[in-house]
């Protein structure tokens, strides 16, 4: 970490169920921070239980910015996140506090740090046309079309990744330029040169413990009304399984249950598996991440307490040139 006159910021990253939110709140009790959520599911209103969103009482005491900012019927792009996060960071800094960004959507963190190519906002008329074609013709046909127009982008997309196929075609239809060309253009600047950032990652020594916590948390969410939450989303009548909100881990599987494709027991098993796969992808992101301080969340077959993790973070911050904390 470097010594500069840049304003400080803190990143708390890690896989789902690693204790990021509890740690952020513990840090908020130690010194003035402004918490910014970096979570692609928690941005949606009505996705509360299944996204492990902090409860109303917690949010009242420790406000999280960029939570509940979109309806589940809407999309939210990485470009929009970068814009919103930068605005919130400036607001927090100007208020004399430290931006504390916490979450598990690693793509958001990465692009906020490094910047990215300017892409057009979603065009719902074009998007609906693509989705209608997918229903009628199938995603393999659209993937073949993408390979024709933009073979470079198609080579980086799995043929079954419908959302990425849809977005690549959408960019082409809106702009007349391929996604790969747009991404090759000079990217928007990231915040890495604007802030002095302490990047902290919560990681497991033993993934089996994390998997166990994921399963336990999923069952707790079911007990807290996750099934009813998804049922209410379906009753709205304007949401489909193709929307980003409904594709979130857990929501997709319970949606399939209400579609009659799965029994509830199978939906739970698949939801737990999908959440574990999400954690695996998040850890893969972190494996090659530079300039991070890794904190292990477990030791000797048990989880380390939030207070212990908080003390470790404070030592990192106090020993660095990033923050001069007065507690």
**Per-residue pLDDT reduced to its tens digit, 300-309:** 999 999 999 9
Average of pLDDT values for 60-89?
A: 94
pLDDT in tens, 187-206: 667 898 899 999 999 999 99
Q: What is the pLDDT at residue 327?
A: 43
Please say if the pLDDT value at position 143 is more than 90. Answer: yes
Least confident interval from 75-84, 116-125, 158-167, 276-285: 116-125
3-state DSSP assignment of residue 197: strand
Q: What is the pLDDT at residue 326?
A: 44
Q: How many helices (H) and strands (E) does the chain have?
A: 14, 8
Please say if the pLDDT value at position 139 is more than 50. Answer: yes
Task: Report d(CA 11, CA 7) in Å as an integer.
Answer: 14
Least confident interval from 117-126, 178-187, 223-232: 178-187
**Residue 193 carries which DSSP code?**
G
- List the structure tokens of 211: 């998997």
Q: What is the pLDDT at residue 3?
A: 47
Q: What is the pLDDT at residue 124?
A: 84
Q: What is the pLDDT at residue 183?
A: 75
Query: Mean pLDDT across the chain, nearest whole number?
Result: 92
In the chain, the percentage of residues whose pLDDT exceeds 90 is 78
Average of pLDDT values for 30-47?
A: 96
Cα within 13 Å of Cα(24), Cβ side: 33
pLDDT in tens, 166-187: 999 999 999 999 988 887 775 6
pLDDT in tens, 14-26: 999 999 999 999 9
Task: Report d(CA 312, CA 304) in Å as an integer.
Answer: 11
- List the structure tokens of 168: 């690549």
Task: Report d(CA 54, CA 21) in Å as an integer.
Answer: 8
Task: Report d(CA 11, CA 102) in Å as an integer.
Answer: 6
Q: What is the pLDDT at residue 4?
A: 58
> What do you get for the CA distance between the two ends of the chain, in Å?
22
Contacts of 76 (CB under 8 A, 6+ apart): 40, 43, 44, 69, 70, 244
Task: Report d(CA 276, CA 15) in Å as an integer.
Answer: 9
């Amino acid at each position: 970490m470097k010594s500069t006159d840049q304003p400080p910021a803190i990143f708390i990253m890690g896989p789902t169920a690693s204790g990021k939110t509890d740690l952020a709140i513990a840090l908020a009790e130690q010194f003035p921070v402004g918490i910014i959520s970096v979570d692609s599911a928690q941005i949606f209103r009505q996705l509360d239980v299944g996204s492990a969103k902090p409860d109303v009482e917690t949010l009242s005491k420790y406000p999280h910015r960029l939570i509940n900012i979109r309806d589940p019927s809407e999309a939210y792009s990485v470009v929009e996140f970068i814009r919103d996060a930068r605005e919130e960071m400036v607001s927090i800094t100007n208020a004399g506090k430290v931006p504390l960004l916490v979450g598990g959507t690693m793509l958001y963190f990465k692009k906020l740090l490094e910047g990215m190519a300017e892409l057009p906002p979603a065009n719902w008329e074009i998007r609906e046309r693509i989705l209608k074609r997918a229903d009628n013709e199938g995603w393999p046909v659209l993937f073949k079309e993408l390979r024709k127009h933009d073979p470079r982008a198609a080579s980086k997309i799995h043929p079954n990744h419908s959302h990425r196929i849809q977005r690549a075609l959408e960019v082409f239809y809106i702009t007349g330029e391929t996604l790969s060309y747009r991404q090759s253009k000079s990217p928007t600047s990231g915040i890495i040169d604007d802030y002095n950032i302490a990047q902290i990652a919560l990681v497991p020594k033993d993934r089996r413990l994390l998997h166990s916590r994921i399963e336990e948390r999923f069952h707790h969410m079911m007990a807290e009304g996750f099934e009813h939450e998804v049922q209410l989303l379906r009753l709205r009548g304007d949401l489909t399984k193709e929307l980003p909100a409904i594709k979130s881990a857990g929501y997709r599987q319970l949606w399939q249950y209400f579609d009659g494709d799965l029994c509830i027991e199978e939906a739970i098993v698949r939801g737990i598996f999908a959440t574990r796969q999400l954690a695996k992808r998040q850890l893969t992101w972190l494996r090659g991440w530079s300039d991070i301080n890794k904190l292990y969340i477990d030791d000797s077959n048990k989880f380390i307490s939030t207070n212990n993790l908080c003390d470790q973070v404070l030592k990192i911050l106090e020993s660095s040139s990033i923050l001069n904390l007065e507690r």
